[in-house]
Amino acid sequence: MNAMAIEGTRAGESGSHQPLYFPSGGQQLFGWLHHPTGAAACGWGVVVCKPFGYEALCAHRSVRAFADAAAQLGMPTLRFDYLGTGDSADIDPSADQVEAWTRDIVSAVAELRRLTGVSHVCLLGFRLGALLAALAAEKCQVNAIALVAPVLSGRKYLREARTAQLAAEAAEAEAGGGLQVNTPAGTDGGMEVSGYALSAATVASLTVAEIDAARLVRVPDILLVDRSDLPTARALSRSLRDQGAAAEHHELPGFVEMMLTAPQFATRPQAMLQATGEWLKRLQAQTSSRVPAQTHSATVQLALQGQGDPSSGGSLTERPVF
């Protein structure tokens, strides 16, 4: 059963989730737009960058909860399926998924702005989606980024995936009476992560991809939500603050229950949800305090040479009307 069928009933009951397709690199991506509920629109919007593979399946309920929480604060929120996943268009098996999915995030930011008119966008990334969000932030203008249990190093992520795969093979071989289990890793340099394929080009890209302070420091506001059982972002947080970035760091429980538990038993990480919601509230307050009261009365003068009546110099006046 696809994602649209799974969520369609609840979306219809609440009236706050809108299923849609939007373009990215000549393909169509499927997404859900969470409209603001319980609060007036605030000028902020959120694009959710989900995890990859089995982690995305386990965390689906939690990721939707994060999107709902942002919408309840007045932030329209777009979550979507990367190319080749969920209900989005298929991807060339040999394509670089990192490149494609980074482009998908940039397209999602543009689509959110187009659909809602928000002036500020926050990227909310989970696990591998956090790494992709950091890469996308360099290619589009975002005002904030929140990374939950982020994958900081693509090389380390691959090494952990290979270790987990070898352990699973050993357990399966032992259960089968010592029979050898063929490794699913492709002979072309690709590999599988819990049954989900990564192309050779993707493996090559992940080998050099990482989140460091230099990559994030240009983003005005940063939230790092670390897993309390195995925190990885302490050094990154310190480095960001040393460079003058507005970075907030938390080490909170809930990761295992959210993303390493079978989908039917996974639970939402309440502490992580609360910390993210409070941070988003502070973003709204900071933005409101920076915006002048009379921002809609500005008049813009445009001198267009060779346009209009030559005797008038070709100038015109535009006044935005709301």
Q: pLDDT of 49-86, one tens digit each?
A: 999 999 999 999 999 999 999 999 999 999 999 999 99
Average pLDDT, the chain: 86
Alpha-carbon dihedral angle through residues 253, 254, 255, 256, given to the nearest 10 degrees: 110
Asked if the model's pLDDT at residue 138 lies above 90, the reply is: yes
pLDDT of 107 over the 60 cut: yes
Confidence class of residue 187 from pLDDT cuts 50, 70 and 90?
A: low
- In this prediction, residues 184-204 reach a mean pLDDT of 84
Query: Is this structure's pTM higher than 0.85?
Result: no
β-sheet bridge partners, residue 197: 192
Confidence grade of residue 182 (pLDDT, cut at 50, 70, 90): very low
Band of residue 313 on the pLDDT scale cut at 50, 70, 90: low
Phi, psi of 101, deg, nearest 5: -75, -30
Contact by Cβ (8 Å): 144, 221: yes
Asked if 112 and 140 count as a contact pair (C-beta separation under 8 A), the reply is no
Q: How far is CA 257 from CA 61, 163, 274, 303, in A?
A: 11, 21, 16, 59
Would you place residue 16 in the very low, low, confident or very high pLDDT band (cuts 50, 70, 90)?
confident
pLDDT confidence of residue 322? 56
pLDDT at residue 295 in the model: 38
Determine whether 211 is exposed, middle or buried from the number of CB atoms within 10 Å of its CB (0-12, 13-18, 19+).
buried
Mean pLDDT to the nearest integer, 106-112 = 98
pLDDT value, residue 290: 55
Check pLDDT > 50 for residue 14: no
Region of residue 309 (left: phi > 0; alpha: psi -120 to 50; beta: else)? beta
- The predicted pLDDT at position 257 comes to 97
Q: Which of 114-118, 169-173, 197-201, 241-245 has the lowest mean pLDDT?
A: 169-173
Partnered with residue 193 across adjacent β-strands are: 196
pLDDT digits 0-9 by tens, 25-41: 999 999 999 999 766 66
Over residues 197-223, the mean pLDDT reads 96
229-284 tens-digit pLDDT: 999 999 999 999 999 999 999 999 999 999 999 999 999 999 999 999 999 999 99
Q: How far apart (Å, rounded) are the C-alpha atoms in residues 147 and 135?
A: 12
What 264-269 contacts at long range (C-beta under 8 Å, 24+ apart), as own/partner pairs, is 266/58, 266/59, 266/61, 266/62, 267/62, 268/61, 268/62, 268/65, 269/62
- Which of the pair, 46 or 7, is modelled with greater confidence? 46
- Give the pLDDT band of residue 194 (cuts 50, 70, 90): confident
